Structure 1
């Protein structure tokens, strides 16, 4: 029989998240059932729950940064056992057969698109997927990740399932490492992980911030240098010197200031989707040094596992503030004001309260 799940859900774009119950499916042969211990809070959760992105299906149970423990497995599951500590990230399904899926890049599935952990089309129920702001979830084993971090770190591991892989994937793809100068723009949930991961990869990391008050924080996270991007002299001092720049800012802004800092062939990689388009860039800035403006989504399942293992090996976790689920609306309001260092994580034990 399907199991009853407790959760918090938005019933509409204008109503606050509130207690909600629904049924999770019994594990199918390749499914893993998970009791959720922690769920990170992503800006995508807020945008979806509040209807700021088109296409939200209600009731909406957000959450795609999930860490928990396996409670049951299907008969054909070979990768996991009851009691394992596992994670679930931004996707729970894809077509499995298109070129992207067969290449292990399920996030770029070209047939159906990847199925989001919430607000995606659930091919099992015929409805839509309901995410990690709940006490349990059932996911096909292919989309479940192994967690190697120690028990005290598990809450801070949760944001790695989105913020970690969103920054790890482009840093790896464009070759961050020893002898490379890498810029990271923004010091929010994504940016703070970008700084940590790029530094652990061995790159020379320069953090860009609009706020001088964040200089010490950026250095604590691992930045070798910090540039206040509103200071034209500081920006000019780095002209033409970066192998790549990872831009995590999700607000529309002038990209030319950063493309001019790239070496020949250097990419400015965007991972934030602004509400309004960026101003049109100066094409000459790109043409005359063969620079590129590129984008990157999350990572495939194999790469997400690689990221988790890398972070465990290097002792990397997110900097978090733990909250009970009952404070989620207050957390959303604080996120809008950038009033968090650097990621909220929900203690799912609070659902029992």
Structure 2
């Protein structure tokens, strides 16, 4: 998504320059690591400020843009630079988590909240994030919707994969990691066991340290489940999307899931768990079916419904392709960015 945002900014007429490669992410909740990252970030901010002030006025940054600010990955640099240079500060995909104010991520939480409070504009990617952002929104701040999107042109054409069966083909594309990903695989295996008497096959694209556990989960299904490993070739992945009849993923604790958009882009309707922002990328009963988070029986029922109804699958497929093409492409995102940022830049120029 960060790369897509840079593309969209460029297309909107605001060519971005990458200002820092410091990673503020702390997955473990280590206070010492967080303090060290804060110090490194503030030192980087100081260097950027000094450098920018030495530039001619027309070469200085006119806006600071940060992607994905939350309690595990605060932005210590952007607010400092924006304040020193008197330029607007914008965050795309910010989220608040009040329950993290205490505990192992307390310092990161403090930094994230300060950045979110400072932002002139937060580009909101999901309705799930918006609720908390609205509650804590400072009076000077605008919240503007920028739903997740794709560059539909970056996927090369793909030759159709041969099919010699008439069973519905299911597809999953996900890394094989312990934690939420493995929990999703477990839920999917359990749901498929509930529809084992129906005809279907499943293709799984993905790899990771939990591969052995995932293979064990699906071993009872034998040759009905095919493992493709990690597929780097976009043409081949596109072919897998295009040949699939349903994309299936329980999406345990997913922020939203780019693969869900990718599947719809190629006419593959989705069955997913309605965690987090998933409902912001899948339109329930229009481009797929969403089920209550963690509900194995409901997920199996949604699968069963669509496995039996080919006509409905085809209607969902058409709607899914149209949804991404018309509402979630790079041009659409660029227009939203232009509308959001142009007023901020006009204030700077004034």
Higher strand share: 1
Higher helix share: 2
**Larger Rg computed on CA atoms:** 2
Bucket of the pairwise TM-score, normalised by the shorter protein: under 0.3
User: When the two structures are superposed, what TM-score results if normalisation uses the length of structure 1?
Assistant: 0.26
User: When the two structures are superposed, what TM-score results if normalisation uses the length of structure 2?
Assistant: 0.27
